Amino acid sequence: MEFTLIKFIFIFGVLHSFIYLSFALGFSLVFGVAKIPYLSYAGLYTLSAYLMHLLLTKAGVPTIISAILSIGAVGGLSIVIGDYIVKPSMKNPLSIFISTMTVSYIVEEVFRIKMGLTPVALPALRGVITIAGVPVAQQWIAVLIIGAVSSFLVLIYLSKTATGKSIRAVAESWYESMIIGINPYKVFRVTMLIAGLLAGVASISLSPLKAVVPSMGWSPLFVSFAIVILGGMGSIKGTVVASFIYGFVEQFVTWKYGGAFASIVPLALIVLVLIFRPTGLFGEKE
């Protein structure tokens, strides 16, 4: 076993990038279809982890079913948020901004009150393997597979299926999609559902390797945000490329300078991109 820096950066860069891609895609789709940053993402992420914990410990539901239920619940909640919070105020993006943000704050606060800072352990694979001398918990392999598979499924969905293509159409223009017979509201709902499901999947697989605390959702939110802004809003290709760039940059900072600095990386990235190149790498000019 060795502990050389460059190996850690590379291996964990790959491991992180795929899972980041999976939920950045959800965020990106909502951005494209609803034209707003989906700030409730943080709340959904947090909620699914705590829901799973509660189902496991309080209701004694077996692991797989708890996972499915939590992910499903969060997906459903996402649709509800879409219908009742996002859609009514679509003409006023600032209102949506505040309201979706508040949802995440409410989730955080509720769990802070009910669960405090008590450590919560979600089930995870136990073993540790070595890749090129670097110790990697087996759960990471699960994360890699889940991240890659979900991303792959979403991308296929977007390019091959009818609904997937209509998502892209609505992201281009609501009006024009209506003309060619697509119901943008239905597409909107589907998009919200996908985003919620992706948040839930990412949360349940990744949080055992990080921590389950009430404020856990903000970090993935900012990461998705940074990826989507870096890649360019409205560009799926941009999201894919940016996920890997981001994953490696973040891991570089983590291993070289410490995890504490890594949390500032997404924020600094957003600030820099918005100031100097607001359209990102592949985004279209507004």
Partner 1 sequence: MSQNVLIGVFVVILVIVGAVAYYAGKGATTTVTTTITQEKTVTATQTQFVTVTGTPGPTTSPSPTTTPSPTIITQTVVVTTPVEFKGEVKVGALLPLNLPIGQLMLGAIQMAADEINAKGGVLGYKVIVVPYDTQWQADKAAEGYKYLAQQGVKVVLGVFGSHEALAIMDLLALYQVPVIASGAVSDQLDQMVLKNYDLYKYWFRAYVSATMQAAATWDLLAYISKTFNYTRYGWIYEDLPWVIPHAAYGQVRSQQEGMILAAAVGVKTDITSFADAFQKVLSNGSQIIVWQFSGTEDYVFARDYYDMQVPLIALGGGSYAMLDQFYNQTGGKAEGLICISWGFPAPFTPKTMEFYNKFKQTFKTDPIFTTWYAYDSLYIWANAVESAGTFDVEKVIPILEKTVYVGAAGVYEFTQSHSAKLAPDRIYPVFFQWQSGQRVVIWPLNVVAPGTKLLVPKLEGGQRVWVEVPWPPK
Partner 2 sequence: MFRQKTVADKVRENLLGIIVLLILALLPMRANDFLLDTLVRTYIFVILAVTLDFFSGTTGYLNLGHSFIFGLSAYLTGILYVYLKIPTEIAILGAGLLGTFGSLALLLPSLRVRGVYFAILSLLYPIIFIGIVTTQPFSLYLGGEGGLRIKQLFLDIARKLPPTERLAFLHNAYYYLSFILMVASFIVLYKLAYNEFGFKLRSIGQDEELSEAAGVNTTNMKIKGFLLSAVFASYAGALYAGMRPPITVDFVNTGSILLPTLTAMIVGGAGTIIGPAIAAFLLTLLYQYLWGLVGLWRTVAYMIILLAFVLIRPQGIFFDIYLRIRRLVDKVIG
Which residues sit at the interface with partner 2, rule CB under 8 A?
36-37, 84-85, 88-89, 92-95, 97-99, 101-103, 105-106, 108-110, 113, 218, 222, 225, 258, 260-261, 263-264, 267-268, 270-271, 274-275, 278
Q: How far apart are CA 280 and CA 27, in angstroms?
A: 15
Paired with 128 in beta bridges are 137
Smallest distance, partner 2 to C-beta of residue 223, A? 13
Which backbone phi and psi does 137 adopt, to 5 degrees? -65, 140
Q: Are 83 and 189 in contact (CB under 8 A)?
A: yes
Smallest distance, partner 1 to C-beta of residue 252, A? 11
Which backbone phi and psi does 3 adopt, to 5 degrees? -125, 40
Amino acid at 171: A
Which backbone phi and psi does 114 adopt, to 5 degrees? -80, -35
Smallest distance, partner 2 to C-beta of residue 102, A? 5
Binds 277, which of partner 1, partner 2, none (CB < 5 to 8 A, cut-off by type)? none
Binds 211, which of partner 1, partner 2, none (CB < 5 to 8 A, cut-off by type)? partner 1
- Cα within 13 Å of Cα(164), Cβ side: 12
> Which spans of this chain sit near partner 1 (rule: CB under 8 A)?
1, 3-5, 8, 12, 112, 116-119, 121, 126, 128, 130, 133, 135, 137, 209-211, 213, 215-216, 254-255, 258-260
Binds 119, which of partner 2, partner 1, none (CB < 5 to 8 A, cut-off by type)? partner 1
**Looking up tokens 């949390």, which residue turns up?**
263
Widest CA span in the chain: 61
Q: How far apart are CA 286 and CA 243, in angstroms?
A: 22
Binds 10, which of partner 2, partner 1, none (CB < 5 to 8 A, cut-off by type)? none
- Beta carbon nearer to partner 2, 149 or 274: 274
- Beta carbon nearer to partner 2, 140 or 188: 188
- Beta carbon nearer to partner 1, 121 or 145: 121
Binds 8, which of partner 1, partner 2, none (CB < 5 to 8 A, cut-off by type)? partner 1
Which backbone phi and psi does 271 adopt, to 5 degrees? -60, -50
- Beta carbon nearer to partner 1, 188 or 252: 252
Query: Cα–chain-centroid distance for residue 235?
Result: 16
- Beta carbon nearer to partner 1, 188 or 246: 246
- Cα within 13 Å of Cα(244), Cβ side: 9
